[in-house]
């Protein structure tokens, strides 16, 4: 059984191992695979694992030995599910592995935008405190989260984790989900989408990317937000119209944004948001804590082991399988 990992580097740049897969078959690892090299690298593989390397219908059709595709992520839009299903190839993903890490990243951005820790630390290093006439100073407004409203769009596991943290800070939590959640704590108030945009001091996105919510945050929605509100996106870049966001920040329609994802990754050099005021961008690292990546690799290996044992887990194209 040959197992090929097409783009192993981001999940494991060397601080973890793939030993669990060596026990399941002959493992071939590629740090990265270009679009042109996918068929060559996966040519005789029965099991193919991918993170962001795209597997199109044409590619799947040209891999005669292919029996299984594992996505090393929660999102699986990089694989043509229908084409895989028509071949009888199950596609699996890795759910819930990054929940604590991503929720933590949400509040790293929230606290950065409300406490401006990096800004003040840099100012101190530059000598501003040493030359200050008073015992303290601040270069930007400091915002207390207690009593503010935290709005969540998408109340899955990460959304609920972020809600719990917001509640611990004393924030009122309101949320919108496209369907009523199965379980809801007393700390979360379900509202409609318009109310989330209109009433939130912080809006955090946690919904999947679909055709319906592409550019969910657009020029119209940004105008509906409070001028002092901040937007956090750790979900999917195309949920936000980045050009509209750049304009909204420049014109002061909202107070700030913390983004861990972009519409195109990596973003183009000189992207308009790079120069937008009070816009802080991290390079899609919310999922990348070592503990989270260790869970990812463990679940991925278990997915393969279950497939080989005839009881597949976390299959995302079950309805397309023939």
The mean per-residue pLDDT over the stretch 266-271 comes to 96
Count of Cβ atoms closer than 10 Å to residue 93 Cβ:
21
Q: Which of 19, 58, 144, 265 is catalytic?
A: 265
Question: What is the Cα–Cα distance from 245 to 205, expressed in whole angstroms?
Answer: 14
Strand partners, 190: 175
Determine whether 284 is an active site residue: yes
> Structurally, what CATH architecture does the domain formed by 2-97+290-320 represent?
3-Layer(aba) Sandwich (3.40)
Average pLDDT over the chain reads 96
Spans of all domains in the chain? 2-97+290-320, 99-281
Give the model's confidence band at 5: pLDDT under 50 very low, under 70 low, under 90 confident, else very high. Answer: very high
Residue 183 binned pLDDT confidence (cut-offs 50, 70, 90):
confident
246: how many CB neighbours lie within 10 A of its CB? 19
Query: Is the per-residue pLDDT at 182 higher than 90?
Result: no
**Is residue 153 a contact partner of residue 196, using CB atoms and an 8 Å limit?**
yes
**Could you report the per-residue pLDDT of 42-89, keeping only the tens digit for each?**
999 999 999 999 999 999 999 999 999 999 999 898 999 999 999 999
| Unique residue bearing structure tokens 């949920």 | 239
What pLDDT shows up at residue 105? 98
Q: How many Å apart are CA 181 and CA 177, to the nearest integer?
A: 7
**Where do we find the tokens 């040959």?**
2
List 221, 284, 293, 295, catalytic entry = 284
- Condensed to tens digits (0 to 9), the pLDDT of residues 283-292 reads 999 999 999 9
How deeply is 55 buried, as exposed, middle or buried, from its count of CB atoms within 10 A (0-12, 13-18, 19+)? buried
pLDDT tens digits, residue range 206-258?
Answer: 998 889 999 999 999 999 999 999 999 999 999 999 999 999 999 999 999 99
Structure-token match 């303290």, residue found: 136
d(CA 273, CA 257): 10
Note the pLDDT of residue 241. 98
User: How far is Cα 36 from Cα 224, in angstroms, rounded to an integer?
Assistant: 44
Q: At what angle do helices 117-125 and 99-115 cross, to 10 degrees?
A: 60
- DSSP state, residue 79: B
Which CATH superfamily, name and number, covers 99-281? NAD(P)-binding Rossmann-like Domain (3.40.50.720)
Q: Any residues with CB less than 8 A from the CB of 317 and at least 6 apart, and which?
A: 81, 82, 84, 85, 90, 91
pTM for the predicted model, two decimal places: 0.93
> Identical fold at 2-97+290-320 and 99-281?
yes
Q: Which two tokens stand for residue 126?
A: 């530059």
Choose, from 236, 271, 280, 295, the residue flagged as catalytic: 236
Q: Is the pLDDT of residue 185 over 90?
A: no
Cβ atoms within 10 Å of 175's Cβ, excluding its own: 24
Measured in degrees and rounded to the nearest 5, phi and psi for residue 23 equal -80, -10
Question: Which residues have CB under 8 Å from 93's CB, separation 6+?
Answer: 70, 71, 73, 74, 75, 76, 314, 316
Say how many C-beta atoms besides its own lie within 10 A of residue 70's C-beta: 27
Both tokens assigned to 74: 């929660």
Task: Quickly count: other Cβ atoms within 10 Å of residue 250's Cβ.
Answer: 13
Tell me, yes or no, if 265 is annotated catalytic: yes
| DSSP of 87-122 | TT--EE---STTHHHHHHHHHHHHHHHHH-HHHHHH
Residue 186 predicted with pLDDT over 90 = no
Q: Give pLDDT tens digits for 20-29.
A: 999 999 999 9
């Amino acid at each position: 059984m040959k197992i090929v990992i097409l783009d192993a580097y981001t999940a494991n740049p060397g601080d973890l191992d793939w030993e669990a897969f060596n026990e399941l078959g002959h493992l071939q690892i590629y740090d990265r695979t270009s679009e042109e090299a996918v068929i060559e690298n996966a040519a005789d593989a029965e099991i193919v694992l991918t993170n962001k390397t795209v597997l199109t219908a044409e590619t799947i059709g040209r891999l005669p030995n292919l029996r299984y595709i594992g996505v090393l992520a929660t999102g699986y839009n990089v694989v043509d599910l229908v084409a895989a299903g028509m071949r009888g190839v199950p596609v699996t993903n890795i759910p819930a592995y990054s929940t604590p890490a991503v929720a933590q990243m949400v509040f790293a951005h929230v606290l950065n935008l409300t406490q401006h820790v990096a800004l003040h630390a840099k100012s101190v290093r530059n000598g501003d405190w040493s030359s200050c006439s008073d015992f303290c100073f601040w270069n930007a407004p400091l915002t207390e989260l207690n009593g503010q409203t935290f709005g969540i769009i998408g109340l899955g596991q990460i959304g609920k984790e972020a809600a719990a943290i917001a509640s611990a800070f004393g924030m009122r939590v309101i949320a919108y989900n496209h369907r009523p959640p199965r379980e809801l704590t007393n700390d979360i108030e379900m509202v409609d989408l318009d109310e989330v945009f209109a009433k939130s001091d912080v809006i955090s996105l946690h919904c999947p990317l679909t055709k319906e919510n592409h550019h969910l945050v657009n020029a119209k929605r940004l105008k509906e937000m409070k001028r002092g509100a901040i937007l956090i996106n750790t979900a999917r870049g195309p949920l936000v119209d980045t050009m509209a966001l750049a304009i909204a920040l420049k014109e002061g329609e909202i107070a700030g944004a913390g983004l861990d994802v972009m519409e195109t990754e990596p973003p183009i050099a000189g992207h308009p948001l790079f120069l937008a005021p009070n816009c802080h961008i991290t390079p899609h690292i919310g999922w990348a804590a070592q503990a989270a990546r260790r869970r990812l690799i463990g679940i991925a290996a278990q997915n393969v082991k279950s497939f080989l044992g005839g009881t597949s887990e976390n299959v995302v194209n079950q309805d397309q399988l023939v």
